[in-house]
Amino acid sequence: MLAHFLKLDEQIVRFILGHDNLDSRLSRFTRVVTPDCTLADLAIDEEMRQQVRRLAVAATKNRRPLRLCFRGVTRADRRRAAEALAGELGVRVVCADLPRMLASELNFEHTIDLLFREVWFKDAILYLDGVDAFMGPDRELAARALVAKLATDAGVTILGSPGSWRIEPEMASGLGLIAIDLSPGFEGRLAAWRSSLDGAGIVVAACDVEVLADRFKLTPVLVDEAIRMAQQGALARASGTVAASDLFAGARAQCSQDLARLARKIEPRHCWSDLVLPDDTLAQLGEIVQMVARRRRVMDDWGFGRKLSLGKGVTALFSGPSGTGKTLAAEILAGELGLELYKIDLSGVVSKYIGETEKNLDRVFAAAENASAILFFDEADALFGKRSEVRDSHDRYANVEISYLLQKMEEYEGIAILATNLRANLDEAFMRRLAFVVHCPFPDEMSRRRIWDAIWPADLPRAADIDTAILAREFRLSGGHIRNIALRAAFLAADDGAIVDMRHVLHAVRREYQKLGKVLSGGEVSCGAKRPLPVRR
């Protein structure tokens, strides 16, 4: 025995010697914070403040474990809430950045043991930031290690996540994780906007302030930042006076950071006059705007929100042939509501790995709800297809994905638009979950004439021989194809050194028909053209 030696871990040595500094192995992704605030300093609903306080006090008094998941606000706000809870209990908080911990070369399971022991030595509470980093097939072992440690720890642990951290049922059994949505309610957001606007000396209509508070789930810190950005926008316009549009732009900029990593933003550039659809279809689009604008009155003031557990969102299906205005209608709705439009890239959502598609969709829906944005699923039949008879494991998991989508669509409280050319390919169960089904029909001759008349920019040099009546009568094309023809004709004219005339348009029509696999008759090609277009070799 005299030939053997015992080497204590440096963390235990420091504790025995009374050293309070942080373990060097944790310092790269961990810091110890002495709180300077309490729950009373947070801009959250009073009922939620009392709930968190009761849970924390009861857990520490009875020495029972408490595991909370803070979500629904920004990363800084979640960390601030964890510090406030520690201040309420009169202890320090150890804040750990989980993504940086995972990216380090250290063994994660051993590092987690060190972290929880450090928290116990310091008699602190633990805040784990970025727990959503575990949502991936390559993180399952690390997630299991974290959950196992949480299950055996007797202290207070807070997880921070932008959405709801999805834990496999067998892993979460007995964990007792309580989700706390820190997003302030309408009254709290309205008070924050009014206070910040008064402090900045900005005067806007009361109805605009209410719309801002209703449509954007911003914390007081983000409201302040939105107002600063609005002031900068007003200065950039050389007006100096902050308008409601500046405030909407500033609010949108604060919401979309998480969603921008998961979807592609579409900038609305069109107005109602650009959309050529039947009157009843336009009326349906107007009803969507009305439903969003009056949702708080119906759901909150009139009590429908308390009657409904699901189906509180605004979901719509835009169907119709290609190029008939489905994407354009979504853009116009986003512009009318002052919200951002994000197109979901199916390549970034659908995965060949079992369960990954559902996790990706969960991130998308959570980010969209926090961002107060409109989700746009183009070619939705590829994702929302029909469930089939189960013949093998592939059919079973495909049906699971669709069933999960049905569930998420019903739970989602934001705005989602599905667009498809093949409505018959969608699962019928989606129809019940949709608030609107808007059909964009193929344009008739009168509608095509209106599209041809409106497609040309005001600055485009255009000859008088372009007869839109002939073009509308002779060529059965949708608005998308007409747009392609107008653009190609403009490039032909620019290369020809001339203004756009009928020759350029007809040449562009012929190319578009070639794309479609159709052949023009001699009469169609020659209508309105006085001489052939020169071909450059």
Residue percentage of the chain with pLDDT more than 70: 84
216 and 155 belong to one structural domain: no
Evaluate whether residue 536 is within a structural domain.
no
User: Which residue among 162, 181, 200 closes a domain?
Assistant: 181
Claim to verify: residue 216 and residue 299 sit in the same structural domain:
no
In a domain, 518, yes or no: yes
Same domain membership, residue 373 and residue 304: yes
Its pTM surpasses 0.75: no
Same domain assignment for residues 177 and 194 = no
pLDDT in tens, 507-532: 999 999 888 888 776 545 555 444 44
Give the Cα separation of 197 and 199 in Å (integer): 5
CATH number at residue 106: 3.40.50.300
534 domain-assigned: no
Q: Which CATH number is 238's domain given? A: 1.10.8
* pLDDT tens column, 351-369: 666 666 777 777 777 777 7
Q: How do residues 56-94 score in pLDDT, each as one tens digit?
A: 888 888 888 888 888 877 788 888 899 999 999 999 999
User: Rounded CA gap, 389 and 387, in Å?
Assistant: 7
Say whether both 139 and 210 belong to one domain.
Answer: no
pLDDT of residue 528: 46
Tell me, yes or no, whether 399 lies in a domain: yes
Q: Taking the mean position of all CA atoms in its chain, how far away is CA 73?
A: 13
CB 320 within 8 A of CB 441: yes
Asked if residue 386 and residue 270 are part of one domain, the reply reads: yes
Q: Is residue 3 part of a domain?
A: no
Structural domain count, the chain: 4
Q: Is residue 521 part of a domain?
A: yes
Q: What is the pLDDT of residue 274?
A: 86
Q: Read off the pLDDT of residues 301-339 as tens digits, 9 standing for 90 and up.
A: 888 877 776 767 888 889 888 888 899 999 999 988 888
The per-residue pLDDT for range 1-53, each reduced to its tens digit, is 778 878 888 888 888 888 888 888 888 899 999 998 888 888 777 888 888 88
CATH for 512: 1.10.8.60
342 and 412 housed in the same domain: yes
Dihedral sign for Cα 291, 425, 422, 267, please: positive
Among 181, 214, 235, residue at a domain's last position = 181
Residue 4, domain member (yes or no): no
Q: Are 334 and 367 in contact (CB under 8 A)?
A: no
Residue 95: what pLDDT? 93
pLDDT at 535: 43
Which of 128, 163, 181 represents a domain boundary (last residue)?
181
DSSP string, 73-109: S-HHHHHHHHHHHHHHHT--EEEEEHHHHHHSSS-HH
* Domain span holding position 298: 264-439
- Are 409 and 277 contained in the same domain? yes
User: Are residues 137 and 177 located together in one domain of the fold?
Assistant: yes
In a domain, 94, yes or no: yes
